[in-house]
Structure 1
Amino acid sequence: MMNALFVLLCFLVTASDVLAPGIEIGIKDGKISCLGTSLPRDASTEIIDAKGAYVTPGGVDSHVHFQQDNSPTGDNWVTGSRSAIAGGTTTVLAFASQLKTEESVIPCITEYRTRAKGRSFCDYGFHLILTNPTPTIMSTEMPLLISQGITSVKLYMTYEPLKLGDSQLLNVLMSARVLGFTTMVHAENSDIISLITNRLEAAGHTDPYFHAISRPQIAENEATYRIISLAELTDTPILIVHMSSEIAMEHVRKAQTRMLPIHAETCPQYLFLLSERLKGNEKDKFEGAKCVCSPPLRHDPRDLEAMWRGIANGTFTTFSSDHAPSTYDHAGGKKLGLKDGIMRYRNIPNGVPGVETRLPLLFDFAGREKDSRLSLQRFVQLTSSDPAKLYGLEGTKGNIAPGYDADLVIWHPEAELEEGVVIEQKNLHHGVDYTPYEGMIVRNWPRYTILRGKKVWDRDNGGILGTQVDGKFLQRGKGRIVVGKTGQEVKGMLAGERDYWY
């Protein structure tokens, strides 16, 4: 007998299909037991009537920053994960950050796991930010982490405390190829940014708007081309995170047409926000600091349209929030960039909040009768199924099928929300004091969020129903390639040439 049953007029949406009403989902012990019609039930069976609404897999947000040392005023695990489930996300992958002075990654992984344990409303895992990839770490500690279910790393090509040089990048990529961990890369040219920043500062151009001027698209374009070249040389799959530039995206697209395993990610801020948001107003000239993130917001609506094309045509594998919040009205938050009345954008913590608004913002443009920008199936691919595949959660997360965790988002019947939902800071559940999407109207919002068969969010009846001990650490397997394939030769190199030096 099923211990929970979701029935009546629901449209089940997976990465490949939208199933007609009449299909029921049977759940037992937190797993999807079966899909069918007229499933058995008794008086103890909980029944949820979807009322003709869409049901999608629980969101997998594969790029969030919770309780990191470099963001002391940002979300902790309680507030960040609470915000996630209120927006339909049941799994988050956050970051544990190694310091350049550390000769081991084990202490930082242990510390970050301790911070999350017993304090998460949703399921979670970790990526390791590698800043000092010593031979011992790569040969001894990375295999250990992989055995413990931490199977992905993030590399930076910019930010002095984090960035790696090309030789370091190559060494990590070669280790990734051998060990099978997933490699994420923040691709911006550090020297371009540093030079422009110093010259802007010398000229007195230091208010938040000049953050966008200091990081031109060509900095992203060059670094993207370079990391693709390094990945091709080493025959290593990569994912380039938070892309914002059309030319950089075209580099990815061309690599994909050659069947290279180059994955890409973009985020809501690069679909909806422009650099004009970095300008202040008469009431608060510093307010643009709220939207300082890297890569920066771009200048032209055509830049937004380019990212939407990448969403629709399959260039992007994942759509994440890059939830990287700092409180605005706090001396240790965004106001670090305002001292004695002088604005200095280089001191403003980077990042914007968005884990709660990610799914509603994208769902707003999925499967519309008019002005649709992507299909409902593509929505599921970007927000659930593909990140689950890429990061070693396939078979557990990201799909509505027997054997998967019963993580579900039940949306409102659209007739109930004819005027849509206004995004307002006062209604959100994160721990920061603003949202960059204030006042935007979306056509729907999760009515219920279900985590492993448990109703943890009910928008109409109390909101948050889950607790901070509901989330569990996910021991992930090795991710699989979603785009392209390995084993190809590099043009201009002899067959087997890598064997001489790999």
Structure 2
Amino acid sequence: MSRYDLILTSARVLTATHDGIADIGIRDGKIAALGDLSGAETGDRRDLTGKVVTPGGVDVHCHIEQMSGMGLMNADTFETATRSAAIGGTTSVISFAAQARGQRLSDAMSDYASAACRGAMIDHAFHMIVADMSVPSVAEDMRRLIGEGHRSIKVFTTYNIQLSDREICEVIGIAREAGALVCIHAENDGLIGWTKERLVAAGKHAPRYHAVSHPRLAEIEAVERMIRFAEFFATPLMLFHISTREALDAIRAAKARGVPVWAETCPHYLMMAADFLDRDGIEGAKWMCSPPQRATDDQVALWEGLGDGTLSLVSSDHAPYRFDETGKLSQGRDVDFSKIANGLPGLEVRMPLLFDEIVSKGRLPATEFARLTATEPARLYGLSGKGDIAEGFDADLVVWGPYVQVTYGPDDLNDNVGYNPWEGRTVTGWPEMTLLRGKVVAEAGAVRAEPGTGRWIDRPAIGAATDRSPAPEYTEATMP
């Protein structure tokens, strides 16, 4: 009879395809068996009657220990960010290795990898952010880093780190050949800049005008343009943080005609509206992010998009800045909205917020919680062995108290941000224990892992490298 290191018994096991009572046998950090293990030998057996077990969260959009385009370091180190993630039920993250102007991409990756090696308490991978295509080595570095397992690249169509359409084509072409996925922050820079300048000139400086400065059309136009790029190159693109109904409709229509495009959204677009920024004084800056929160009708549309598969996953877009002179208020309290850092902390709250909405409130089938927060992000980004509860997978698990109710306070997160943007919101369902590769890394709201014990996740292949249509042919027949 096989012996297990740990058996979790009598839990409601919830995956993307299964919802039922089962025992989970863990050996050597892997899930070794599922089913009735009442007679099996083990060194440790935990009775989880009345608990729910889900795959460990996979959060594929996180800014950690990163310098912003404004030259501002965000609040979290890999230690503080992954501590917060583990307590919130997330066991794998993909954060960004951001290229600075004039910097070699390989040097940027080395810097971020070293920081993660020192501090990360959970497993991790990286997206390259390509911000300067004028660096002579950038194409060579991109190809080499892709070959080394860094198989996703982020580009911006806006802000002072944007690439031109021509440069984006170059990145997509390299990624297509090498087998990487290009992820895009899609907003129209001209529309945002024009609107922002006129608001500021008119004396409309309060944080609530940040939302006005990002017209809906800025997202809609850029999303539609990037969809056409995916269509032309016949290769998948991932559209980050979708916030509007119209952009969602464009993605749905593109999928219907066979365009290889994927998209995500975030909790703050599903559960917040633009009025969160409408506070006294500078207070609304806490909720400033880009794109901004929209209208309640957009929230309805985004939930519909998750339900029908138009949106593939929900990430946190964790972008942490303290509400003080080191972060949001680095240029003072009496400044216009354009001088305030954008971003919200989200690593610790993503899983509980979605468990509450999907599993507890039944907004979607319960299995969709596991699919949207773990299984699909792991699959799309090539995180082998992550995101599911199945034999051979890493034993990355979250044990939930499904009826535990918690109301968020003003500063009760375990990151380094100093405030909770979800203050006052009550969630039902709470991550009581998080396991990474079979070891308890967080329990009862406290972290039990050590900095540096998280592992880098090699991604030797992802869907973007294997699920490709034939390459476009550039012949006279394709010319107008």
TM-score by length of 2: 0.94
Q: What CA distance in whole angstroms lies between the structure 1 residues aligned with 2:246 and 2:74?
A: 34
Offset of residue 171 of structure 1: 1.2
Residue 361 of structure 1 aligns to a residue whose secondary structure is helix
Offset of residue 425 of structure 1: 3.9
Superposition pairs for residues 21-100 of structure 1, below 5 Å?
A: 21=21, 23-38=22-37, 41-42=40-41, 45-70=43-68, 71-100=72-101
Shift of the 184–31 alpha-carbon distance from structure 1 to 2, 3 Å rule, reads same
Q: 2:52 touches 2:402 (CA, 8 Å); kept in 1? A: yes
Alignment partner, residue 182 of structure 2: 183
Q: 2:147 touches 2:178 (CA, 8 Å); kept in 1? A: no
Q: 2:235 touches 2:469 (CA, 8 Å); kept in 1? A: no
Q: What CA distance in whole angstroms lies between the structure 2 residues aligned with 1:378 and 1:206?
A: 41
Superposition pairs for residues 68-467 of structure 1, below 5 Å?
A: 68-70=66-68, 71-102=72-103, 104-133=104-133, 137=137, 139-160=139-160, 162-281=161-280, 285-298=281-294, 300-328=295-323, 330-339=324-333, 342-368=334-360, 372-394=362-384, 396-414=385-403, 417=404, 420-459=405-444, 463-467=446-450
Q: What CA distance in whole angstroms lies between the structure 1 residues aligned with 2:392 and 2:130?
A: 34
Instruction: Could you tell me which runs of 5 or more consecutive residues in structure 1 were left unpaired when the two chains were aligned.
Output: none
Q: 2:150 touches 2:459 (CA, 8 Å); kept in 1? A: yes
Q: What CA distance in whole angstroms lies between the structure 2 residues aligned with 1:318 and 1:280?
A: 30
Shift of the 397–224 alpha-carbon distance from structure 1 to 2, 3 Å rule, reads same
Offset of residue 41 of structure 1: 4.1
**Which one-letter code corresponds to 2:399 in the other structure?**
I
Match of 2:5 among 3, 11, 17: 3
Deviations 1:320-365 (A, max 9, x none): 000001000x2131113535xx231111111000100001101112
Offset of residue 375 of structure 1: 1.3
Q: 2:240 touches 2:265 (CA, 8 Å); kept in 1? A: yes
Q: 2:412 touches 2:420 (CA, 8 Å); kept in 1? A: no
Q: What CA distance in whole angstroms lies between the structure 1 residues aligned with 2:130 and 2:474?
A: 30
Offset of residue 489 of structure 1: 9.1
Q: 1:188 touches 1:219 (CA, 8 Å); kept in 2? A: yes
Shift of the 136–32 alpha-carbon distance from structure 1 to 2, 3 Å rule, reads farther
**Which one-letter code corresponds to 2:32 in the other structure?**
S
Q: 1:323 touches 1:352 (CA, 8 Å); kept in 2? A: yes
Offset of residue 73 of structure 1: 4.4
**Which one-letter code corresponds to 1:423 in the other structure?**
Y
Q: What CA distance in whole angstroms lies between the structure 2 residues aligned with 1:66 and 1:241?
A: 17
Shift of the 219–312 alpha-carbon distance from structure 1 to 2, 3 Å rule, reads same
Q: What CA distance in whole angstroms lies between the structure 2 residues aligned with 1:149 and 1:269?
A: 31
Alignment partner, residue 474 of structure 1: 457
Offset of residue 145 of structure 1: 1.0
Q: 2:86 touches 2:122 (CA, 8 Å); kept in 1? A: yes
Offset of residue 31 of structure 1: 0.8
Shift of the 288–337 alpha-carbon distance from structure 1 to 2, 3 Å rule, reads farther
Q: 1:58 touches 1:450 (CA, 8 Å); kept in 2? A: yes
Q: What CA distance in whole angstroms lies between the structure 2 residues aligned with 1:238 and 1:211?
A: 27
Q: What CA distance in whole angstroms lies between the structure 2 residues aligned with 1:68 and 1:466?
A: 23
TM-score by length of 1: 0.90
Q: 1:259 touches 1:485 (CA, 8 Å); kept in 2? A: no
Offset of residue 383 of structure 1: 0.6
Q: What CA distance in whole angstroms lies between the structure 2 residues aligned with 1:230 and 1:198?
A: 29
Residue 118 of structure 1 aligns to a residue whose secondary structure is helix
The root-mean-square deviation of aligned C-alpha atoms, in Å, is 2.1
Shift of the 422–411 alpha-carbon distance from structure 1 to 2, 3 Å rule, reads same
**Which one-letter code corresponds to 1:474 in the other structure?**
I
Q: What CA distance in whole angstroms lies between the structure 2 residues aligned with 1:499 and 1:110?
A: 44
**Which one-letter code corresponds to 1:376 in the other structure?**
A
Residue 375 of structure 2 aligns to a residue whose secondary structure is helix
Q: 1:337 touches 1:344 (CA, 8 Å); kept in 2? A: no
